[in-house]
């Protein structure tokens, strides 16, 4: 690795130096909870089509780091999915649901 | 007359208020019955091999039971024969029915005992509705009416 003094003398062994910092996004996109945004207060277990958005292909509940749901509503979503499963509106296990 | 007055007021008071009210009434020597009305919702699945008359009879039986216990029916829904997401009792479909009602909490236990003893019943779920759920239930009925 060449030091700055060596580089100024013309020595350059493969090190890339930038005059302007690269435009790399360090902050991820602002996430939002869709329940808070839409003003939904109650998650209905009867609406299985809607709850399908919160499970993966195997029918497992997705973590909130992927769906962006706030903790308050994630609890309600998981409760609703479990009720929905009990009533056979949603599967406990599935294959290629989406 | 006093009892009627209390029944009217409980609609407004919070659950904690109910408890205080009940204690006060026992001290005052007033007997109260069925004033702790909660809002419940029950969905149940009936066996698909039943005939239409049998289904009507079964649904009527539970409705009559609730009404006899002083329930106030808010909404009744028949979702018809629906496919199940997974087989239950080796059956792939079932008749879904929904009841929404206001009743004293002590009625739920005997109702569920009846459900469990009934072999026509495949699944059931009773949920107590909070204020947001009640709002949504009203909205949902409205949407179904305009949609249909």
β pairing state of B91-104 and B121-128: unpaired
Number of domains in chain B: 2
Quote the ipTM score: 0.75
State which residues form the domain around B21. 6-35
Q: C-alpha B120: how far from its chain's center?
A: 18
Task: Report the predicted TM-score, pTM, of the whole model to 2 decimal places.
Answer: 0.74
At B86, which CATH number?
3.30.70.60
With 0-12 CB in 10 A as exposed, 13-18 as middle and 19+ as buried, what is B124?
A: buried
CB pairs below 8 Å between A and B: how many? 38
Residue B105 lies in a domain: yes
**A58 SS3 class:** coil
**Residues B48 and B10 both lie in one domain:** no
* Contacts with A42 from chain B: Cβ below 8 Å: 130, 132-133, 135-136
Residue by residue, pLDDT tens for chain B (148 residues) are: 455 445 544 444 555 555 666 666 666 666 555 467 899 999 999 999 999 999 999 999 999 999 998 889 999 999 999 999 999 999 999 999 999 999 998 999 999 999 999 999 999 999 999 999 999 999 999 998 888 6
Same domain, B43 and B29: no
In a domain, B1, yes or no: no
Farthest CA pair distance, chain A: 76
Distance, in Å, from the CA atom of B61 to the CA atom of B97, rounded to the nearest integer, reads: 13
Q: Which domains does chain A have, with CATH numbers?
A: 32-85 (4.10.640.10)
Residue in B137, B128, B69, B135 with CA at minimum distance from that of residue B104: B69
Determine, for residues B125 and A87 on separate chains, whether the beta-carbon distance falls below 8 Å: yes
d(CA A16, nearest CA chain B) in Å? 58
Alpha helices in A22-88 (DSSP H): 34-38, 48-51, 64-67, 71-86
**Do B87 and B26 share a structural domain?**
no
CA–centroid distance for B2 within its chain: 27
């Amino acid at each position: 690795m060449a030091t700055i003094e060596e580089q100024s003398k013309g020595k350059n062994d493969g090190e890339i130096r930038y005059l302007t910092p690269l435009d790399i996004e360090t902050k991820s996109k602002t996430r939002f909870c869709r329940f808070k945004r839409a003003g939904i207060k109650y998650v209905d277990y009867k609406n299985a089509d809607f709850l399908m958005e919160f499970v993966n292909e195997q029918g497992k509940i997705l973590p909130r780091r992927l769906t962006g749901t706030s903790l308050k509503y994630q609890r309600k979503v998981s409760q609703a999915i479990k009720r929905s499963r009990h009533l056979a509106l949603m599967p406990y296990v599935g294959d290629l649901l989406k | 007359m006093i009892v009627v007055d209390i029944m009217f007021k409980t609609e407004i008071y919070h659950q904690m208020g109910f408890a205080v009210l009940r204690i006060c009434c026992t001290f005052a020597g007033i007997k109260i019955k069925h004033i702790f009305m909660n809002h419940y919702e029950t969905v149940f699945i009936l066996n698909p091999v039943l005939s239409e008359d049998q289904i009507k009879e079964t649904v009527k039986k539970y409705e009559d039971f609730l009404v006899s216990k002083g329930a106030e029916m808010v909404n009744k829904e028949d979702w018809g024969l629906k496919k199940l997401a997974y087989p239950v009792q080796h059956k792939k479909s079932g008749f879904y029915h929904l009841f929404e009602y206001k009743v004293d909490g002590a009625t739920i236990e005997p109702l569920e005992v009846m459900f469990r003893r009934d072999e026509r019943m495949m699944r059931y779920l009773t949920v107590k509705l909070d204020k947001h759920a009640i709002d949504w239930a009203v909205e949902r009925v409205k949407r179904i009416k305009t949609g249909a």
